[in-house]
Structure 1
Amino acid sequence: MQDNRPRTVALEALPEAITRYLKAHRVHDTATAVTAFTGDATVIDDGKTYEGIGEIERWLSRAATEFTYTTELTGAQQTDATRYVATHHLEGNFPGGTVDLRYRFTLRGDLIERLVIEP
């Protein structure tokens, strides 16, 4: 029987596609951020679903300008060979002012196939 309980991993042990996306997103580099996704990737953020590179690129561009905030990667876990969770603490001018978000990544090969962002 396989153990699918999340286990803590070092932040530097996250797969390259995840760190590329996170670094690019932090500095609002949409062009680099989208290269971390498969062509048919899905992102779910704030209850909305974005499918394919075009929709993901528009979501990233809008998200970069909607609010001003800082983000700090505070932890990472691995659930199985293709699933990771990166926890971020955000502070900014969005409703509520602070939030801890879990970025749930599913990889296919070396790229992100699915990303779900939720508290």
Structure 2
Amino acid sequence: MVAALPKPIADYVEANARLDIEAMLKPFAADAVILDNGHRFAGLAAIRTLFEEEVILVKAIFTPDGVQRESGKIIVEGPAYGDLKGSPIRFTYDFTLDNDIITMLDITA
């Protein structure tokens, strides 16, 4: 794992490695937004549905291998492995944090 990840992002990545949906949701603000390849998921209920259908169902585990800070955002890159077509697939996760909580995540493949 990339050592320089801020705690909420590291917590999310570690929870994802265990496919622990409750722990994956914990670092997100109640009104957080995820943009997943152009699809918008706002609020924890929508994010839970995204995780259930696109992460847990296919056992998709994101393994960061690079991180950079840019314009107040933390950009994390790496492959995701699992039962998904084309695995592993390389993703970019563009996180926005506010007071140690994830408020926005833009995911692109």
TM-score class, shorter? 0.7 to 0.9
| Matched residue SS, 1:73 | coil
2:11 matched to 1:37?
A: no
Structure 1: gaps spanning 5 or more residues: 1-9
Name 1:114's counterpart in structure 2: 104
Question: Partners of 1:39 and 1:69 in 2: how far apart?
Answer: 23
One-letter amino acid matched to 1:86: V
2:85 matched to 1:95?
A: yes
Structure 2: gaps spanning 5 or more residues: none
2:65 matched to 1:74?
A: yes
Compared CA separation, residues 98 and 52, structure 1 to 2 (3 A): same
Name 2:18's counterpart in structure 1: 27
| Matched residue SS, 1:102 | strand
- Aligned partner of 1:15 among 6, 25, 29: 6
- Percentage of matched positions with identical amino acids: 24
Question: Partners of 1:33 and 1:24 in 2: how far apart?
Answer: 5
Question: Partners of 1:69 and 1:42 in 2: how far apart?
Answer: 20
Compared CA separation, residues 41 and 69, structure 1 to 2 (3 A): closer
Quick check: 1:105–1:115 contact (8 Å CA) kept in 2?
yes
Compute the RMSD of aligned alpha carbons: 1.9
Greater strand proportion? 1
Compared CA separation, residues 99 and 47, structure 1 to 2 (3 A): same
Question: Partners of 2:9 and 2:61 in 1: how far apart?
Answer: 18
**How many corresponding residue pairs?**
109
**Deviation of the 1:13 alpha carbon:** 2.1
TM-score by length of 1: 0.80
One-letter amino acid matched to 2:6: P
Name 1:57's counterpart in structure 2: 48
**Deviation of the 1:69 alpha carbon:** 4.6
